[in-house]
């Protein structure tokens, strides 16, 4: 089952200005349900740009992006936001937790923001997710008091709150020590195995990339053959 397809996707920045530059030069890519894929490539090659487009945070300048076979180019920003909330989870290198919130409150954010998720089930679901990432005992700890690895596990729990089909993870282990990085990676792998969630993982860690199902390499705005 196809989750995502890119057809000839191009992206330029500063369109119409003297400094207009194309940074993605025609990307073709498909992702199936349950795939666990590493996205690698040198700094500046276009990985973050590609991730922003796949995550419906930015639009291609040309080409098609289909989610579950449906073209997205004519969708309004509001439609894209709704589709993103239902389909895609995000984990970033700097976890972007709200430090004055507890672990539990951080995981509750997407469930509260969705507005359609039954409010009386929000806390129970957030607690279950914290349990899945091994942090049930830290539900009431302020995010700021958790270790880097624990904070990233809270971010993983939060990314899974809406049961996304696809999680985009931009160097999720980039600022963790080896042990914490392996733990977070194992968590993503387990989620992939148990729920069939697809992952696209930007990483410079070749040890982790080699444990993915497939590696996509971006070089100068193109996918290397």
Q: Where are the alpha helices (DSSP H) in the chain?
A: 47-54, 77-87, 103-114, 119-132, 148-159, 178-195, 206-209
**Antiparallel, parallel or unpaired: β 21-32 and 2-13:** antiparallel
Binding segment for ligand ADP (CB under 6 A), chosen from 30-38, 110-118, 122-130, 178-186, is: 122-130
Rounded to the nearest 5 percent, the helix, strand and coil shares of the chain are: 40, 30, 35
**Non-local CB neighbours of 134 within 8 Å, separated by 6+ positions:** 153, 187
Mark the segment that binds ligand ADP (CB under 6 A) among 59-67, 68-76, 93-101, 121-129: 121-129
Q: How far is the CB of 177 from ligand ADP (least distance, A)?
A: 23
Residue 195, interface with ligand ADP (CB under 6 A)?
Answer: yes
b (16+ CB within 10 A) / e for 6-45: beebbbbeeeeeeeeeebbeebebebeebbbbbbbbeeeb
For residue 162, the minimal CB distance to ligand ADP (Å) is 8
Taking CB under 6 A as the criterion, the residue among 15, 98, 113, 128 binding ligand ADP is 128
Question: Per rule CB under 6 A, is residue 49 in the interface with ligand ADP?
Answer: yes
C-alpha torsion sign, points 196, 179, 158, 11? negative
The answer to whether 47 contacts ligand ADP (rule: CB under 6 A) is yes
Binding residues with ligand ADP: total (CB under 6 A): 20
62 vs 128, beta carbon nearer ligand ADP = 128
Any contact of residue 158 with ligand ADP (CB under 6 A)?
Answer: no
Give the whole-angstrom CA distance, residue 139 versus residue 124: 11
Tell me: does residue 23 bind ligand ADP (CB under 6 A): yes
Q: Does residue 12 interact with ligand ADP by CB under 6 A?
A: no
Q: Is 160 in the site for ligand ADP (CB under 6 A)?
A: yes
Cα dihedral sign, 56-71-6-73: negative
When the beta carbons of 157 and 179 are compared against ligand ADP, the nearer one is 157
Distance of closest approach, residue 21 Cβ to ligand ADP, in angstroms: 6
Interface residues toward ligand ADP, by CB under 6 A: 13-14, 23, 41, 43-49, 125, 128-129, 132, 160, 163, 191, 195, 197
């Amino acid at each position: 089952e196809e989750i995502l397809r890119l057809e000839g996707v191009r992206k330029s920045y500063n369109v119409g200005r003297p400094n207009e530059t194309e940074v993605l030069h025609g990307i073709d890519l498909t992702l199936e349900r349950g795939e666990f894929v590493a996205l690698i490539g040198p700094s500046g090659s276009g990985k973050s740009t590609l991730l922003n487009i796949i995550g419906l945070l930015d639009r291609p300048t040309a080409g098609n992006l289909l989610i579950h076979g449906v073209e997205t180019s004519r969708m309004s920003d509001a439609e894209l936001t709704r589709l993103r909330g239902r389909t895609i989870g995000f984990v970033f290198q700097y976890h972007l937790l709200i430090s004055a919130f507890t672990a539990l409150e951080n995981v509750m954010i997407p469930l509260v923001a969705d507005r359609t998720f039954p409010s009386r089930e929000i806390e129970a679901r957030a607690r279950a997710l914290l349990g899945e990432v091994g942090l049930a005992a830290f539900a009431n700890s302020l995010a700021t008091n958790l270790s880097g690895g624990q904070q990233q596990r809270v971010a993983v729990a939060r990314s899974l709150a809406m049961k996304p089909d696809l999680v985009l993870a931009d160097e999720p282990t980039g600022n963790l020590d080896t042990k914490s990085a392996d733990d977070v990676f194992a968590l993503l792998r387990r989620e992939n195995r148990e729920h069939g969630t697809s992952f696209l993982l930007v990483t410079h860690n070749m040890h982790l990339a080699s444990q993915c199902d497939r590696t996509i390499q971006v070089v100068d705005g193109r996918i290397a053959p």
